[in-house]
């Protein structure tokens, strides 16, 4: 019975987070340098915490680093495919919908699988707290986190660089 309370609390929160992420992955967006800097700092902190927390298990670190490498390459591709829309005072961008949609689909699929796995473990009569607590600590989950973190680190850093170039060009033109 207690597991249903977790579903009631977690599912709407995760759905809201995915909705916010999907809105930022599709369609025309304004470049907000302060928000990009905040996301970069947050992503670096999360990467550092994941690295420190995974030192005791080499497969977790390997999965995380593999995901970060692949995510960085996808981030460079996404930055190359993103369209910039400059106007008189602001810079807007449209991220590639296929890359954003694919990342969202991977995230939703992994979360759904983890919920199913968690529910199955809770339903089993021999489920213990250690087995349930370690379910999120798999190399595949770490590689997906690394993929998302690597993508957003590179993509947001690239957007900041393009925003600075745009501001410099704007000031030279005045």
pLDDT given for residue 73 in this prediction:
97
Out of 139-148, 149-158, 165-174, least confident range: 165-174
- What is the per-residue pLDDT for 1? 44
What is d(CA 53, CA 59) in angstroms, rounded to the nearest whole number? 12
What band does 77 get if pLDDT is binned at 50, 70 and 90? very high
**Residue 65 phi, psi (nearest 5):** -65, -40
pLDDT value for 135? 57
Write down the pLDDT at residue 6.
59
Label residues 73-98 b or e (16+ Cβ within 10 Å = b). ebbeebbeebeeeeeeeebebebbee
Pairwise CA distance, residues 154 & 76, whole Å: 7
C-alpha span between 168 and 144 (Å, rounded): 36
Pairwise CA distance, residues 21 & 19, whole Å? 5
Q: Using 50, 70 and 90 to split pLDDT, how confident is the model at 105?
A: confident
Q: Model confidence over 122-138: pLDDT tens digits?
A: 666 555 555 555 556 78
Q: What is the pTM of this model?
A: 0.80
How many Å separate Cα 121 from the centre of its chain?
26
Instruction: Give the SS3 label for residue 28.
Output: coil
In angstroms, how far is CA 85 from the centroid of its own chain? 24
């Amino acid at each position: 019975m207690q597991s249903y309370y977790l579903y009631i609390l977690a599912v709407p929160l995760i759905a809201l987070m995915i909705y916010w992420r999907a809105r930022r992955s599709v369609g025309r967006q304004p470049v907000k340098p302060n928000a990009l800097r905040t996301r970069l700092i947050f992503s670096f902190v999360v990467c550092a915490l994941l690295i420190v927390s995974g030192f005791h298990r080499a497969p977790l670190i390997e999965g995380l680093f593999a995901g970060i490498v692949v995510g960085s390459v996808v981030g460079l591709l996404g930055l190359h495919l993103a369209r910039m829309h400059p106007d008189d005072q602001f810079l807007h961008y449209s991220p590639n919908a296929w890359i954003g949609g694919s990342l969202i689909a991977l995230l939703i699929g992994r979360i759904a699988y983890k919920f199913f796995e968690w529910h199955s473990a809770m339903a089993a009569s021999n489920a213990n707290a250690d087995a349930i607590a370690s379910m999120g600590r798999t190399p595949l989950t770490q590689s997906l986190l690394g993929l998302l973190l690597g993508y957003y680190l590179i993509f947001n850093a690239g957007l900041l660089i393009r925003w600075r170039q745009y501001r410099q060009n704007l000031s030279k033109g005045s």
